Structures are given as C-alpha cells and as structure tokens.
Chains A and B, each alone.
Chain A
Amino acid sequence: MRGKGHRLAAAGSAALIATSVLAGCGSGDGGITINVYKYPQENFQKIVDRCNDQADGYEIVYHKLPREADGQREQLVRRLAAEDDGMDVLALDVTWTAELAKAGWIKEFTGRAKSEVEDGTLETPLETARYEGKLYGAPDNTNVQLLWYREDLLEGLGVQPPKTWDEMIDIGSRLEADGNDKTPGLVQATGKQYEGLVVLYNTLVSTAGGHILDEDGTRAVVDDGAVKALEVLKEFATSDVVDPSFSNAVEDDARLAMEGGKAAFMLNWPYVYAAAQKVESLAPNLKWAPYPSIDGGAANVTVGGINYGVSSFSRHPDESFDAVLCLRSAENQKFAAINDGVPPTIEAVYDDPEMAEPYPMKDAILETLKNASVRPRTPAYQNVSTVISTILSPPANIDPQRTAERLRAELQDALDSKGVLP
C-alpha cells in the first residue's frame, strides 16, 4: 500500500526521471543506461566519456545534483525513499554511508567489486565507506584540511609554522602587536552554523582523544576529550586573533579573506591552493603545514570526500558496479585530481610524477590522511550534525560543561529519532 503510494509520488516527482527512463528504454542498440548522479564537477563528463569508450554493453549518463551537499542529499533520499529505479550510481558524501546503508537503499560491495575497491585504496577513505563491517561505497575522492599560512609574515617574526592551537593564537597576537594593517594576524576558520563547524569540532574532539558518540553510533558519550575540544574552540573563538566574522564564515569566506591579505593563517581544504595561484600577491607566500594539534602531537583531521554507492533499486546492478570501478580507477582519479583539484583515494596516484606540479602539498595530504578521523557513524548523522552545529553556534558562547550536557541530551534524542530537529 505504502510502497504503491511512494511509487506514485516518484512518478509524479520529476519529468527528469521520465526522460532518463525513456532514454534508457529507447537507446537504439537496446543497450543499458547507467544513470550516475553526482554534484556538478567541472570535468566529470570527460571521465564519463572515457568510461563509455571502454564500457561493454552499457552507457553511462551523468546527471547533475544540486551544488550544495544538503540539496544533493535531499534529492537522493527522497527518490530512494520512493524506490525510484531511475538512479543507478550515486555520488555520496562520506557522512551519508550509514544512513543509506541502514535504510537499505544502497547495495553492499561484494566479490570482485569489493576486492578491486579495497586494493590500494587508502584506509581512512575506505573506512568512511564501511558500515557495520560491510563495504557500501567506493571512495572516489577524499579531502583533509591543512594549515595554510603566509610565509612572509612568519619569516618577518622569525618563527616556524605553529604545531598547536595555542602556538597559532600566540603567533597571531604577536603579529597583531607587531602590527600595521598589513599584518592583522588573523586566523581564518569555518565557524558558521553548518557542517563546516561540525568538521572543525570533530577534528578537535578526536585530536583531544575524545568521542562524540560510542563505537556503534547508538549512544551519545561526549566524553572529557569532547569537553576539552569545546574549551579549545571557545578559547579560539574569544581570542583577539580570530576574525570577527568567524561565527559566520564558510570555506570560501576564509579563502577570500586570505586572498584579500587579511589573514596570516587559514584552516581549509586543499582546493584553496589552486585558487590562490591566481592571486599574484599571495601565490608565492602561501604555504601549508599539518593541521595544528592540541598538545603538540599529530592532529586527527576530519576526512571529507565522495564515495560511489549503487542504488538498491537499480535495475542493472552488475553494470553499475562495473561503471563505479571505471569512474574511480587510478587513471581517472589522477585526471580528476589534476583537472578538478580533488585529492585521490588510491595511494599510488600520489606518487605519479604528473601530480607534483598541481599538487605540491600532496605529501602533507597523504600524511594527514594517515591520522585522519571520520565523523560519527550513524544513520542519524544528518540530525547529529544539525544538533552539533546548532548547539555550538556561535562558538564564542560555548560554556564547556553545560554545552557538553546539552550535546549529550539532544544527541541522544536525535539518535533515538525522538527529538525535534532544530
């Protein structure tokens, strides 16, 4: 009964589906169409074309999802809930694996598909594609943040790039004390109420050795490490080196402030490197270092990126798995890294000589990836993320103990699907 209603809803939902289904039925040689749904990636069509050249008996068609992660997820989950069979391969944010796997919307990778995906893929990205010990995705690209800094400013002070948050704040204030308008000593990070704040907090929590949820993702723990992370975040947000618009900054705001010469430090993804090469004043001075830690050890940076999943409702699962293996092949990952700037998930790609020029920070990325942390793994991740970003915003108002208590209570409600999502 319900399934029928959902299918009806799906039928009405978009002409797009209809056209893609029609295209599937109508291709002249009776071939199979594999519909790939992915965010708009500039040169992805070229990868699709390359795969179509090698494909045996099917044709991949690239459908663009919305640009923003929330919009992508919304479209995917709505259609999956309606058991829409017009989607075959889905590009999934690393945080969605648990949700879609638990709901039974994506297929497990087994046999040849599984062994080929696991072969040579970096462990941390692979970890993001697993749920309850099974593999549900094939890592396409990965991402970790680095500490970006202005070499000229640090040389002026005669200091090395900071290893900890305290050092970073300290260097910032020295630059400020030194200061004229050219050295405001500001630190840029993503503090707006959105996923970027959750990424920042998750990095701090696992660097402090803490946990937000337990291993199974069924209980909210918010332990001492998580409280320590709250303290660091609050200290940073209320320090005088933080950008006044920190509580409203997303990745691009941070990048623009850095490019505008307003900052000495920035915690951001590697994409900023390519963008900065177009800014003459910044390009020669922009350098990178590992993300700052809390006590001087290595930071456990939150891993981002995209995995390919295969829809449970796909009518051509075998061809879909085959298409996934091609789309994420080492060759194509290198192509995407060089042309679209997304870090590969296959370790060998980093050693390719062609990577050296567009990816001078590849060693730092690789090293950071080895210690990287994954975000809480639960089907209710969307709710968990919303609760965290709501409670932590604005970061300057954090009261570590009380905020931790609130997190514990509201996260538990979210996990039990009892709470109201803010």
Chain B
Amino acid sequence: MSHALKTSDETAEPALSPKAKAALSEGKKAERRLGLLLCAPAILIMAAVAGWPILYSLWLSLQRYDLKFPDRTEFVGLDNYVTVLTNPYWWNAMWVTVLITVVSVAVELVLGMALALIMHRTLVGRGIVRTSTLIPYGIVTVVAAFSWRYAWTPGTGYLAETVAGGDPVLTEKIPAIMVVTLAEIWKTTPFMALLLMAGLALVPDDLLKAAAMDGASAWQRFTKVMVPVMKPAILVALLFRTLDAFRIFDNLFVLTAGSQGTSSVSMLTYNNLIKGLNLGIGSTMSVLIFIAVAIIAFVFVKLFGTAAPGGDGGGRR
C-alpha cells in the first residue's frame, strides 16, 4: 500500500520466506485450516448481516417497487438511477452533505489538534481535562441534538434569543445548515482530539528536543517534526470523521428533519424509504451512498496512503 509499508515488506521478505516455505508442513497446513475454520463463522455472519442487505438493496434498486402500489412492482433496469441522478432534490442533498462534511471535518481537525496538544501537555489535572473534553462525545447524539434544537428555538432558547436576536434560525436553509454543522463539530471534535492525541504520543521527545537545539521555533517544530510523524494518525482521524460526517442523519433529523432543503443524502433516503415506502427509489439512493462512501475510503487509502485500522502501523515514519 503505502510507500513505507512496501519497503518494510521488502526488507522483511528475504528473512521470512525460506522459513515460511519450509514451514508448510502437514502441521502448518492443519493449523491454517483450523484458522480458516475459526474465521468461518465470522465471515458467514458478515456475509449475512452486511453482504445480503447490500445485494438485496442492489436488486431492489433495479425495480419499481412501492409498498403503496404492490400491484405495480416491476423490473425497470437503471430507471431509478436516472430518476435520482436527474433530480434536483438529490443534488441539493448531495451538496448539503458535502458542505457539512467538508466544513465540519476541517474545523474539527484544527480544533481537535489544538485540544490534543492541550491534553498532551497538561501537567495539572490531566485526568479532569481529558474527561471534560470528552463529555460532548459521550452524550447521546439525539439528546444533544434536542438541546441544540431548544437552544435555537425562539422563545425558549438562550442561543436564539441572544445570538440570533429571536430569529427562528432553524427554518432558514443556510442558517440551519450552519447550526447543524456547529452541532456536528461540537459533538465530534473530542473524538478527533482523541485520535490525534494517540498520534501525538508517537512523536519522540528527543526529536523535538533536537529540533529545538537546532533553533526551530515552536511553529516549525509543529509543522516540520510533529505533523509528519503524526501523518498516519491524522489521516486515519480524517478518514473516520469524513465517512461519519458524510452519513450525517441523527443531528439533522432532530434539528430540521430536512425541511427547507436541508436534507442530507441519508435524510433523503430515509424520507423515500421509510416515510414514502418507495423501496425502489430509496434503495437506489442507499446504493449511491454506499458507492460514495466507498469512493471516499478509496481516495483516503489509495491516494493519501491511510493505513487501514489494525494494519501494521501503516507508515511509522
């Protein structure tokens, strides 16, 4: 995968391969069979709970299938894709989703990095600082979203009265999207900070001291030493958050329920699938979301060289 990974593989190969070849004895084969056998249940369950629904929704997306009109069910090929991809509501939802994703992840990265540095360097009350930072992430999203909703509701909400001057911000498109993004940032910055803090732990103190000795300023030490060392951690954090943000649903469901054109793609899918009972169009949308998520993951893993979680340390340098 990544450049770093390749080199480590190449260097490891000559030492390992003769041993591995020689070791494919009966005992090793049996061990491998046992390994596969032990994995099998997990693979079967994954296929049942993840694979089958994906295939089924692919199949549904090729049909005109509306629970309200059971007698009109028929195979329509790619018609549903044409319908969805030429629909302004879908594209509006796509732009809203992309906007929320890009803005919230970018802000979270900056804030999360600042928080991580603070948590990393805190000398007094380290436990309390870390715990209190994590509170927003610990609150159930729907509960937090409700408190945001009330806060932005004129009459009862302190934010609506003080910040917005009594305007119903959640009923206008752009302000509502801003509020949703803000709620998203508030909720998941701690998660970002947590992942980045793990990355910070990778930075050897000696390296920073050496850089300081060479006359690097604090900013230079951050950009030239810490960030490059932390790169894998940063990319993993970005990947996780981007995928998460792209699927935004719960915050939006509580705050605006998608009215005034604030639907995300997930919200729109829910509306068509669950509310509209249109399995054909709804499944088409979920397949499209699945593809979009796959593309995001692909871009991160292939182009930016993000290590897969649990992979062998990606690039440790």
A96-139 residues at the B interface, CB under 8 angstroms: 99, 102-104
Task: Determine the distance from Cα of A314 to Cα of B274 in the docked complex, in whole angstroms.
Answer: 23
CB-based contact A380/B68 at 8 Å: yes
Q: Which of A74, A245, A390, A422 has the most CB of B within 10 A?
A: A422
B63-120 residues at the A interface, CB under 8 angstroms: 64, 66-70, 72, 83-84, 87, 89-90
Known contacts A248-B171, A421-B272; is A193 also within 8 Å of B69 by CB?
no
Q: Does A81 contact B (CB under 8 A)?
A: yes
Q: Does B268 contact A (CB under 8 A)?
A: yes
Task: Determine the distance from Cα of A245 to Cα of B164 in the docked complex, in whole angstroms.
Answer: 14
B271 neighbours in A (Cβ, 8 Å)? 386, 421-422
| Interface 9-residue window, one of A151-159, A322-330, A356-364, A412-420 | A412-420
CB-based contact A99/B272 at 8 Å: no
Q: Does B122 contact A (CB under 8 A)?
A: no
Task: Determine the distance from Cα of A5 to Cα of B182 in the docked complex, in whole angstroms.
Answer: 40
Task: Determine the distance from Cα of A70 to Cα of B259 in the docked complex, in whole angstroms.
Answer: 14
16 cross-chain CB contacts under 8 A: A74-B274, A78-B274, A193-B171, A248-B171, A379-B68, A382-B277, A386-B275, A386-B276, A417-B280, A420-B87, A420-B268, A420-B272, A421-B268, A421-B275, A422-B258, A422-B261
CB-based contact B84/A77 at 8 Å: no
Task: Determine the distance from Cα of A390 to Cα of B271 in the docked complex, in whole angstroms.
Answer: 13
Q: Does B242 contact A (CB under 8 A)?
A: no
Q: Lowest 5 A-B CB distances belong to which pairs? A: A417-B66, A421-B276, A420-B87, A248-B171, A379-B68
Known contacts A70-B275, A417-B278; is A99 also within 8 Å of B68 by CB?
yes
CB-based contact B168/A419 at 8 Å: no
* Shortest distance between the CB of A208 and any CB in chain B (Å): 27
CB-based contact B68/A74 at 8 Å: no
Task: Determine the distance from Cα of A45 to Cα of B271 in the docked complex, in whole angstroms.
Answer: 33
Known contacts A248-B171, A422-B271; is A393 also within 8 Å of B72 by CB?
no
Task: Determine the distance from Cα of A103 to Cα of B69 in the docked complex, in whole angstroms.
Answer: 6
* Shortest distance between the CB of A216 and any CB in chain B (Å): 14
Number of interface residues of B (CB under 8 A): 30
CB-based contact A420/B275 at 8 Å: no
CB-based contact B67/A103 at 8 Å: yes
Task: Determine the distance from Cα of A103 to Cα of B281 in the docked complex, in whole angstroms.
Answer: 18
Give the dominant DSSP class at B's interface.
helix
Known contacts A74-B274, A422-B89; is A417 also within 8 Å of B64 by CB?
yes
A366-422 residues at the B interface, CB under 8 angstroms: 379-380, 382-383, 386, 390, 393, 417-422
- Tally of A-B Cβ pairs under 8 angstroms: 73
Number of interface residues of A (CB under 8 A): 28
B276 neighbours in A (Cβ, 8 Å)? 382-383, 386, 421
CB-based contact A192/B171 at 8 Å: yes
Task: Determine the distance from Cα of A193 to Cα of B262 in the docked complex, in whole angstroms.
Answer: 12
Q: Does B154 contact A (CB under 8 A)?
A: yes
CB-based contact B278/A421 at 8 Å: yes
Please report B residues at the A interface, Cβ cutoff 8 Å.
64, 66-70, 72, 83-84, 87, 89-90, 154, 168, 171, 258-261, 263, 268, 271-272, 274-278, 280-281
CB-based contact A193/B268 at 8 Å: no
Task: Determine the distance from Cα of A383 to Cα of B280 in the docked complex, in whole angstroms.
Answer: 15
B261 neighbours in A (Cβ, 8 Å)? 422
CB-based contact A193/B260 at 8 Å: yes
Q: Does A202 contact B (CB under 8 A)?
A: no
Known contacts A77-B67, A103-B68; is A193 also within 8 Å of B259 by CB?
yes
Task: Determine the distance from Cα of A420 to Cα of B72 in the docked complex, in whole angstroms.
Answer: 17
CB-based contact A77/B277 at 8 Å: yes
B259 neighbours in A (Cβ, 8 Å)? 193-194, 390, 393
B70 neighbours in A (Cβ, 8 Å)? 103-104
Q: Does A312 contact B (CB under 8 A)?
A: no
* Identity of the chain B residue whose Cβ is nearest the Cβ of A413 in the assembled complex: B83
Q: Which of B68, B89, B275 has the most CB of A within 10 A?
A: B68
A192 neighbours in B (Cβ, 8 Å)? 171
CB-based contact B171/A417 at 8 Å: no
* Identity of the chain B residue whose Cβ is nearest the Cβ of A420 in the assembled complex: B87
* Shortest distance between the CB of B289 and any CB in chain A (Å): 14
B90 neighbours in A (Cβ, 8 Å)? 420
Q: Which of A99, A248, A379, A418 contacts B83 (CB 8 A)?
A: A418
CB-based contact A248/B168 at 8 Å: yes
Task: Determine the distance from Cα of A70 to Cα of B275 in the docked complex, in whole angstroms.
Answer: 8
* Shortest distance between the CB of A100 and any CB in chain B (Å): 9
CB-based contact A417/B260 at 8 Å: no
B66 neighbours in A (Cβ, 8 Å)? 417
* Shortest distance between the CB of A221 and any CB in chain B (Å): 20
Q: Which of A417, A420, A422 has the most CB of B within 10 A?
A: A420
Task: Determine the distance from Cα of A383 to Cα of B275 in the docked complex, in whole angstroms.
Answer: 9
* Shortest distance between the CB of B300 and any CB in chain A (Å): 29
Task: Determine the distance from Cα of A417 to Cα of B275 in the docked complex, in whole angstroms.
Answer: 13
Q: Does A247 contact B (CB under 8 A)?
A: yes
Q: Which of B67, B89, B154, B274 contacts A420 (CB 8 A)?
A: B89
Task: Determine the distance from Cα of A359 to Cα of B168 in the docked complex, in whole angstroms.
Answer: 35
* Identity of the chain A residue whose Cβ is nearest the Cβ of B90 in the assembled complex: A420
Task: Determine the distance from Cα of A248 to Cα of B256 in the docked complex, in whole angstroms.
Answer: 12
* Shortest distance between the CB of B40 and any CB in chain A (Å): 23
Task: Determine the distance from Cα of A390 to Cα of B263 in the docked complex, in whole angstroms.
Answer: 12
CB-based contact A81/B171 at 8 Å: no
* Identity of the chain B residue whose Cβ is nearest the Cβ of A383 in the assembled complex: B276
Known contacts A70-B275, A77-B277; is A422 also within 8 Å of B69 by CB?
no
